[in-house]
Amino acid sequence: MIQPYSVFQPESNQNGVVFNSPHSGTYLPEDFLKQISIDPAILHYSSDMLVDQLISETPLFGATNFINHFARIYVDTNRSAREIDSDMFQDSKHNINFKKTSKVGRGFGIFSRNAYNGQKIYQDKLPFSEIDHRLKQVYNPVHKALTNLLNQLHKKFGFYIMLDCHSMPSYEFIDPRLSNTKQPDLIIGNCYDSSCHALLSQHVANYFKNHGLRVDFNVPYAGGYNTRHYGRPEDNRNTLQLEFSRALYMDENSLKSHEGFSALQILLTGLSENLDTNLSVFFPAEQAP
């Protein structure tokens, strides 16, 4: 049985930085494949393909990587455990604790109802027991392990920085009125300055700007569940969501990397080095033992 996540620790000199990739997983369980009424290949267009590989070298400079293996279409761990569409399940009288957010309404709750193109994934309603099965199989283990990791780092160093790494589709999927020249290369979400110290947020933005990327904040991606849930900058628990344009590193039709992949991978590895060098600037009172 595949494990729901992997943690990659640095060989030495660990710091309080975590690169998290919640949506790059591609594993679809056999029982799920029997439930769906859609070509499974379509479902991978909803994932942040290759992001786990983009950040694979960041532990060289003290960071820790946390990588999800299950496809987000099966279980999206960047959602609240209550963001469940009761209409997807048989015997929905138990839905008292469900949370009907706008994402759930569009078919993208913790269990996706629709593919990225709006196509329905399931022909029939799922057994109500499927909810508990998927939460226990994927969602709960992921958040238990991620919580433990972040708490350990906070206890050891007095702070943590979690970079929740994602990729966003080309401009027409965000806003058809945007042109290529207006579409940013990176949108940094810090929940409008509530999930990360403002100076740290700006430092990360300046790093990418100084390397030629067009960077915006919060619109239309202000930060998902992970960013909101784990970000408490007043307690030196800092989270940023990084949404990179897929055009930077991949062919969006084939989902294969192109010549830009290496440059972006090097840039993310460089961010890890930059943060490691500058941690004492942002957390002068919290030094590693």
- The pLDDT score that the predictor gives to residue 95 is 54
In a domain, 289, yes or no: no
pLDDT at position 25: 97
**Is 26 within a domain?**
yes
- For residue 287, tell me if it sits in a domain: no
The parts of the chain modelled with pLDDT lower than 70 are 92-96, 171-181, 286-289
Cα gap 224→236, rounded to integer Å:
19
Segment (H or E) for 212: none
Residue 97 lies in a domain: yes
- Give percent of the chain above pLDDT 70: 93
Give the span between the Cα atoms of 82 and 105, in whole angstroms: 13
Taking CA 74 as the corner, what is the angle to CA 176 and CA 72, rounded to the nearest 5 degrees?
A: 50
257 within some domain: yes
pLDDT value for 170: 78
CATH number at residue 259: 3.40.630.40
Q: What are the pLDDT digits (tens) for 145-167?
A: 999 999 999 999 999 999 999 99
* CA pair distance 8, 25, nearest whole angstrom: 15
Asked if residue 45 is part of any domain, the answer here is yes
Q: What is residue 140's predicted lDDT score, i.e. its pLDDT?
A: 98
Number of domains in the chain: 1
The span from the CA of 57 to the CA of 245, in Å, is 20
Q: Is residue 288 part of a domain?
A: no
Q: 260: domain range?
A: 5-282
What is the pTM (predicted TM-score) of this model? 0.94
CB 109 within 8 A of CB 79: yes
32 found inside a domain: yes
